[in-house]
Amino acid sequence: MPAKPSIVFYLARADNGVIGKDGRLPWRISEDLKRFKKSTMGKPMIMGRKTFESFPSPLPGRRHIVLTRSRDWSPAGAEVAHSPEEAFALAGDDSDIAIIGGAEIYRLFLPRADRIELTEVHCEPDGDASIDNFDPETWTETAREDFPAESGQPAFSFVTLERKT
C-alpha cells in the first residue's frame, strides 16, 4: 500500500502572530516568495476562498483547491471543495499536499499536518489575520536558517517544524 501524502503547511508569520492584513502579506520578502514557489510547484494547494482571491490570477504549475462554504462559488482556475475530506479527495495520493492559508484553514487542518515550512518574520505589524505559535509539545524544529534585515525588509528565518511521533 503506498504511503499517504504528507500534509505540509506553508506560511509566513510575524513575531506577534500576524499572517495578513486586508488580504495581503504585511511585508515583502522576495526570498520567502521564491521559497514558496519552489516548494509548492507541482503540488495541490488547499486554501480558503479569501486566500485564492488574494492572488491576481491562479499561480502557474500548481492546483488550487479552495475550501469554501459557498455552494455557488466557482471561479476559473480553482477546484472547489466544501469539506476537508472533499479537499483531500480532490488532491489525491500522488503528491504532498500544500496547505497555504488563511488562518481559519490553518486551524482546521492543524491536527492533520505532518510538517510546517514557516517563515518567521521578525517584526510586529498590524494585521487582521493571525495564528498562534505552534505547540512545542507537538512540534520539533528540525531546520533553521536566519537572515538579517536589509533593503527595507525585516529580518526573517526559514524554519521547518516536524510533528513529534
pLDDT of 2 = 56
The CATH superfamily label for domain 7-163 reads Dihydrofolate Reductase, subunit A (3.40.430.10)
Q: Are 32 and 119 in contact (CB under 8 A)?
A: yes
Domain residue ranges in the chain: 7-163
Percent of the chain with pLDDT over 90: 90
Q: To which H or E segment does residue 144 belong?
A: strand 139-147
pLDDT of 3 = 67
10-residue stretch averages of pLDDT, the chain, 165 residues long: 83 98 93 97 96 94 96 92 96 91 96 97 97 96 97 96 95
pLDDT of 99 = 98
pLDDT of 95 = 79
Question: Which residues are CB-neighbours of 17 under 8 A, at least 6 positions away?
Answer: 130, 131, 132, 133
Q: Are 149 and 122 in contact (CB under 8 A)?
A: yes
pLDDT of 132 = 95
